[in-house]
Amino acid sequence: MNPATSTPASPPPASPGRNAYIDTLRGGSILGVVCIHFAGSFVTTDRFAWSPSFYLGLTLNQVFIFAVPLFIFLSGVLAGASTKVQLLSDYYRSRLWRIGFPYLLASIASFFLLNHYPEWLAVPGFGGRLSWLASRFFLSGIEPTLYFIPLILYLYLLQPALKALPGWLNRLVPAVRPQHFVLALSGLLLVLHLTLGLLCYRSTLNYYTWGRPDPLFWMFYFFSGLHYRTIVSLLSPRTLRMGSGLALVVAVIAMTWNFIRNTDIAVVGVNFERNVLDFAYVRPEMLVYDLAMVFSLGAGIALGWNTRATLVSWLGRYTLEIYLWHILVLYYGAWRYADATASCRQLPEVMVLISIAAALLIAGLADGWDRLKAFFRHHRLVLVKVDA
């Protein structure tokens, strides 16, 4: 028997350096998010329906849907792999400073620069306006695409408890090993994810409350990432490789079915007016697609897949910055100019180039800012040593 096929798999131990494979997944996903929002804007119900720009926009918008669940899963993986010991107050302070403060800045900018201020003024009464701000900022985002930030902050808020939960349950029921509690909780959260998704799809629950921005809906991905090392330790590398390949096949089948439905005029209407693309994460075929893609790509972490450092992996270092600011860059760099959108309709490939350029611009500015901070930090330390 080959030991390589019988030894349980586990992710490689955490190292001080960055994992290029994870950075590549993050970079590819954030580029996909930019494409979803920009190219997807050409999937319209006007006279351009069924044009080349429509088809390319639809393809990019649907294929990259897995980006958000993958981001949440990877956030859990990185949090679960961290061995840093810090006070709970320090942990929450660092999360708020690293994510919450930039989110506040992006929200303020979006409020005034993306025409949300007139909408807010139209809300009657002080209480109504305060409620509008609170619900947008803490749930759905001032700019709707920002919903992901409060979502991930809530998951980080719960992270210490979710990480310790199997151990707590083991102390209550010593006969059941923590690993079995991890599997049981993962299964329950998967059932919750699918149940909420299907109830939203059927409009039994409001998708914009219980689906897209709801931490309960997404908790399966975060929890399974937090305890990924434990989960994959029960699987052999061979099982993971076969499972990854099978999951990819399932994802292709689900996406093929999705495209068949979304290009069937009898289903979506002559002008695409009966489409359900807004229910992006809860349509049954997309629930399957997202799960399959995250499993397939996530298996590479346990199997130790690696990639060279590339431009895509470099983008993976600045996913937060790109996510926060790409709508503003796209609006002021392309959407507001009729010539730019006309070019995308005449030559659809331009929408991909614009998406890439927006991501590179934001990442370049963020990288420059990091280098500037490092420069001043270094020289401040040098001056301190000289003075001493």
Q: Which of 8-12, 13-17, 244-248 has the highest mean pLDDT?
A: 244-248
Q: Is pLDDT above 70 for 289?
A: yes
Q: Is pLDDT above 60 for 15?
A: no
Query: Which amino acid appears at position 159 of this protein?
Result: Q
Least confident range from 3-12, 98-107, 181-190, 226-235: namely 3-12
Residue whose C-alpha is closest to residue 258's, from 286, 230, 278, 239: 286
Q: How far is residue 106's CA from residue 331's CA, in Å, rounded to a whole number?
A: 14
- What's the predicted TM-score (pTM) here? 0.92
Residue corresponding to tokens 């994802």? 251
Domain count, the chain: 1
The confidence band for 4, taking pLDDT boundaries of 50, 70 and 90, is very low
How big is the CA angle at 82 (ends 77 and 84), to the nearest 5 degrees? 160
Domain that holds residue 162: 3-387
Complete DSSP assignment for 130-175 = HHHHHHIIIII-SSGGGGHHHHHHHHHHHHHHHHHHHHHHHHHSTT
Q: How far is residue 341's CA from residue 351's CA, in Å, rounded to a whole number?
A: 8
Q: How far is residue 32's CA from residue 213's CA, in Å, rounded to a whole number?
A: 19
What mean pLDDT is predicted for residues 207-223?
A: 97
Query: Which amino acid appears at position 365 of this protein?
Result: L
Encode burial over 194-212: b for 16+ CB neighbours within 10 A, e otherwise: bebbebbbeeebebbebbb
Alpha helix ranges (H) inside the chain: 20-39, 52-63, 67-81, 88-95, 101-113, 116-121, 126-135, 148-172, 178-201, 215-226, 228-232, 237-262, 265-268, 284-302, 311-315, 319-330, 338-346, 349-387
pLDDT at residue number 385 = 59
